[in-house]
């Protein structure tokens, strides 16, 4: 039987990947972020997951607005890296897990969630920014990516993401093979990339969100998209994807680790929860 | 149409439809070959990709705020920025009605 051994919430800002590639981990402005990932990585080394199920959003690198899916699932044996406009980073393609991914597809559709099924799915910083901080880049742990539209409105509600998490948990519980799975919710935290409030972040709301993700996810799921954007910025609405991770974990969780730092224009959050 | 939240343009399907040609052109810059063709002659490349004269002018002027107002997605503007060597902070500051220097000065206070 497969089961969820825990969840990780993490920001996926592209700046994390750039700083990583440049070897800036020890620089004073970056050290609070990178050192924050060390306990998360130690936890992963201890619990030895077989699979990462990563809820993220594509930033118009795999999908374009000719056909933009609300939910999309990567079922391929490998996931290539997208060229986001600056050329590719020196990282190998990621391994997938088609057998589990097809099970997930069948289970989600039976559970009334209907992802676009992608046999090829190029991944961008939504997955690749933070992953080298948590695992060796020979990618020994396969990844099943689940993309969510959070950029072309209308986008799904926070409640829908929380319920999606429940469906992910049921899909994992019904997979017949032994599999230790960590579910990721990524994006955010607060940031605004354009307009008169460009560069604003909201550390108070970020920390309230991290608190309530543990203790009151149902309450967070009742907030509207408008409220998420007003508190956390139009792009900060990515935070709703953390609710899918939380929803997959069930009622009670134990916090393993939490980190927050905001040296630039984005609140960088990290949360590790155990079931 | 001009739905504004938190001082920003919400990227609605209406905006996406209005900016479709410009966004499609920007999306094509995800390949090195296309970036090179774009850099050789921006206006010709954009015309060949179906962009309007107004859209070509917005890019020629590096009018990031104007691009947003006409339906560009911030994520696709970043691809234009990558091709022409303009980073996010400069694009964001322009969209807020400031130069990057003015933005940095305001942030320092």
Predicted confidence (pLDDT) at residue A108 exceeds the cutoff of 60: yes
Q: What is the pLDDT of residues A88-97, one digit of tens each?
A: 999 999 999 9
Instruction: Choose the mutation target among B75, B99, B101 for the interface with A, i.e. most A CBs under 10 Å.
Output: B75
Dist. CA A69–CA A51, nearest whole Å: 24
Per this entry, what is the length of chain A?
275
pLDDT at A203 > cutoff 70: yes
Q: What are phi and psi of A256, to 5 degrees?
A: -95, -40
Q: Model confidence over B10-59: pLDDT tens digits?
A: 999 999 999 999 999 999 999 999 999 999 999 999 999 999 999 999 99
Q: How far is CA B56 from CA B49, B59, B70, in A?
A: 11, 5, 12
Compare all CA atoms of chain A with the CA of B26 and give the residue at the minimum distance: A85
DSSP reduced 3-state for B96: coil
How far is CA A130 from each of CA A39, A136, A153, A186, A191, rounded to the nearest angstrom?
Answer: 14, 12, 26, 9, 17
pLDDT value for B2? 55
All residues of chain A having their beta carbon less than 8 Å from the beta carbon of residue B64 are 194
Q: How confident is the model at residue B5 (pLDDT cuts 50, 70, 90)?
A: confident
- Write out the catalytic residue numbers of A: 125, 191
Does B1 score more than 50 pLDDT? no
**Which member of B16, B95, B107 has the closest CB to residue A152?**
B16
| Interface with chain B: mutation pick from A187, A195, A232, highest number of B CBs within 10 Å | A195
% of chain B exceeding 90 in pLDDT: 86
Q: What is the ipTM of this complex?
A: 0.94
Looking at CA atoms only, how far is residue B37 from chain A in angstroms?
14
| Closest CB to B95 among A84, A151, A194 | A194
The pLDDT tens digits of the residues spanning A232-272 come to: 999 999 999 999 999 999 999 999 999 999 999 899 999 99
Q: Do B30 and A61 touch (CB under 8 A)?
A: yes
The rounded Cα B61 to chain-centroid distance in angstroms is 11
Q: Dump pLDDT digits (tens) for A139-183.
A: 999 999 999 999 999 999 999 999 999 999 999 999 999 999 999
A5 pLDDT tier (thresholds 50, 70, 90): very high
| pLDDT above 70: percentage of residues in chain A | 100
Which residues are bridge partners to A148 per DSSP? A71
| pLDDT on residue B109 | 67
The SS3 assignment for A235 reads helix
Give the end-to-end CA distance of chain B in Å, rounded to a whole number.
35
Q: Is B56 on the interface with A (CB under 8 A)?
A: no
**Cβ–Cβ below 8 Å for A196 and B7:** yes
Q: How many CA atoms lie within 13 A of A135 on its CB side?
A: 22
The residue of chain A with its CA nearest to that of B64 is A194
Does residue B12 sit in helix, strand or coil? strand
Of the candidates A60, A85, A229, the beta carbon closest to that of B73 is on A60
Cα B73 to chain centroid distance, Å, stands at 7
For the cut 80, the answer to whether the pLDDT of residue A18 exceeds it is yes
Q: What are A226-237's pLDDT values in tens digits?
A: 999 999 999 999
CA distances from B70 to A219, B21, B44, B84 (A): 37, 11, 20, 20
Residues from chain A that touch B73, judged by Cβ atoms under 8 A, are: 60, 65, 151-152
A111 φ, ψ to 5°?
A: -95, 10
């Amino acid at each position: 039987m497969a089961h969820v051994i825990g969840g990780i919430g993490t920001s996926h800002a592209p700046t994390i990947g750039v700083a990583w590639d440049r070897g800036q981990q020890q620089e004073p402005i970056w050290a609070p972020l990178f050192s924050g990932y060390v306990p998360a990585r130690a936890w992963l080394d201890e619990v030895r997951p077989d699979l990462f199920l990563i809820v993220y959003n594509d930033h118009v690198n795999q999908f374009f607005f000719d056909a933009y899916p609300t939910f999309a699932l990567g079922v391929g044996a490998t996931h290539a890296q997208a060229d986001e406009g600056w050329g590719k980073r020196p990282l190998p393609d990621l391994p997938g897990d088609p057998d589990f991914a097809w099970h997930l597809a069948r289970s989600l559709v039976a559970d009334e969630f209907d992802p676009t099924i992608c046999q090829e799915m190029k991944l961008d910083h939504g997955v690749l920014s933070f992953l080298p901080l948590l695992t060796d880049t020979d990618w020994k742990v396969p990844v099943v990516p689940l993309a969510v539209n959070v950029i072309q409105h209308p986008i799904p509600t926070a409640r829908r993401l929380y319920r999606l998490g429940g469906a992910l948990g049921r899909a994992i519980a019904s997979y017949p093979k032994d599999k230790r799975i960590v579910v990721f919710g990524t994006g955010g935290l607060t940031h605004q990339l354009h307009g008169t409030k460009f560069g604003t972040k909201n550390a108070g709301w970020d920390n309230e969100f991290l608190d309530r993700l543990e203790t009151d996810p149902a309450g967070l799921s009742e907030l509207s998209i408008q409220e998420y954007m007003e508190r956390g910025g139009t792009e900060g609405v990515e935070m709703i994807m953390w609710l899918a991770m939380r929803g997959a974990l069930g009622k009670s969780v134990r916090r393993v680790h939490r980190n927050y730092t905001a040296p630039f224009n984005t609140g960088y959050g990290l949360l590790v929860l155990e079931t | 149409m001009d739905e504004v939240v938190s001082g920003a343009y919400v990227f609605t399907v209406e905006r996406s439809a209005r900016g479709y040609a410009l966004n499609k052109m920007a999306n094509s810059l995800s390949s090195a070959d296309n970036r090179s063709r774009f850099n050789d002659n921006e206006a010709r490349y954009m015309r060949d990709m179906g962009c309007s004269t107004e859209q070509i002018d917005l890019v020629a002027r590096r009018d990031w705020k104007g691009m947003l107002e006409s339906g560009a997605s911030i994520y696709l503007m970043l691809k234009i920025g990558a091709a022409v060597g303009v980073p996010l902070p400069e694009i964001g500051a322009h969209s807020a009605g400031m130069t990057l220097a003015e933005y940095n000065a305001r942030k320092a206070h």
